[in-house]
């Protein structure tokens, strides 16, 4: 059971660390798509990109040095993320449009683009939303702490058992020594 301790500590640290990072980026910095490891993960919330992207698809987003017409990009519009396809680039200004939409979006400056969609995991967005919810994060954290405590208690019992065996062996050796001296 003591082999469980390190992975549980890592899980606890990741849950707390990533939640604090996401909270800090979102609430304090106004960044709707934090990218702690050089990429971001977002969930598609509307059907504007059907059939390429569907509601509850998870998208992996990476910043790029340059963008091209045809790229699916994520940009921040106020506190909201939008994932649409670039249909026109004019200098630093980019026009996007959802593939299911009839009209293009208002042009934006490239600095508002968070990154290009580099991967899609279909239909797991509901699970991501569930895991990111505060109550589930707390439940995962509580479970990890509980398992950590259980692992510690099991390790303590194991050490007590070994200590008992050592004491018993010492007593046996003492009796053996005493009987041989008589």
CATH, residue 100: 2.10.109.10
pLDDT of residue 27: 65
DSSP 105: P
* Closest to 81 measured CA to CA, from 59, 65, 66: 59
Residue range 76-113, pLDDT digits in tens: 888 789 999 999 999 999 999 999 999 999 999 998 99
Residue span of the structural domain in which 79 resides: 32-126
Is the pLDDT at 160 greater than 90? The verdict is yes
* Per-residue model confidence (pLDDT) at position 85: 97
pLDDT, greater one: 122 or 1: 122
pLDDT single digits (tens) 24-48: 656 666 777 878 788 988 889 899 9
Q: What is the pLDDT of residue 170?
A: 92
In angstroms, the CA 129 to CA 109 distance is 29
Between 48 and 151, the higher pLDDT residue: 48
Higher pLDDT, 130 or 83: 83
Specify the range with the lowest mean pLDDT, choosing from 3-12, 45-54, 82-91: 3-12
Is the separation of the CB atoms in 53 and 67 below 8 Å?
no
Last residue of a domain, one of 126, 144, 166: 126
CB 115 within 8 A of CB 76: no
Is there a single domain that holds both residue 22 and residue 64? no
pLDDT at 106: 95
Q: Flag whether pLDDT at 117 surpasses 90.
A: yes
Q: Tell me, yes or no, if the pTM score tops 0.75.
A: no
CA 80 to chain centre: 20
- What count of other Cβ atoms lies within 10 Å of the Cβ of residue 96? 24
- Residues 6 or more apart whose CB falls under 8 angstroms from that of 54 comprise 44, 47, 122, 123
Give, as one character, the DSSP assignment of residue 121. Answer: E
**pLDDT tens-digit map of 55-79:** 999 999 999 999 999 999 999 888 7
Per-residue pLDDT at 25: 59
Do 5 and 52 fall into the same domain? Answer: no
Same domain, 105 and 142: no
Average pLDDT, the chain: 86
Higher pLDDT, 140 or 54: 54
Same domain, 16 and 75: no
Q: Where are the beta strands (DSSP E) in the chain?
A: 40-43, 58-62, 72-77, 80-90, 93-97, 108-109, 113-121
Buried b (16+ CB within 10 A) or exposed e, 154-170: eeeeeeeeeeeeeeeee
Tokens of 126: 């509901």
Last residue of a domain, one of 126, 142, 171: 126
């Amino acid at each position: 059971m003591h082999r469980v301790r390190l992975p549980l500590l890592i899980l606890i640290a990741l849950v707390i660390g990533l939640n604090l990072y996401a909270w800090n980026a979102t609430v304090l910095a106004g960044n709707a798509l934090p990218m702690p490891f050089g990429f971001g993960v977002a969930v598609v919330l509307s059907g504007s990109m059907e059939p390429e992207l569907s509601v509850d698809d998870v998208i992996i987003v990476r910043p790029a040095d340059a963008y091209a017409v045809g790229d699916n990009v994520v940009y921040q519009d106020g506190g909201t993320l939008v994932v649409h396809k670039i249909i026109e680039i004019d200098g630093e200004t980019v026009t996007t449009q959802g593939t299911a939409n009839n009209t293009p979006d208002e042009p934006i400056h490239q600095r508002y683009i968070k990154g290009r969609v580099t991967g899609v995991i279909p239909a797991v967005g509901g699970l991501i939303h569930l895991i990111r919810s505060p109550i589930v994060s707390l439940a995962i954290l509580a479970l990890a702490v509980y398992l950590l405590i259980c692992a510690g208690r099991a390790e303590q019992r194991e050490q007590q058992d070994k200590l008992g065996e050592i004491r018993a062996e010492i007593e046996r050796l003492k009796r053996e020594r005493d009987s041989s001296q008589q």
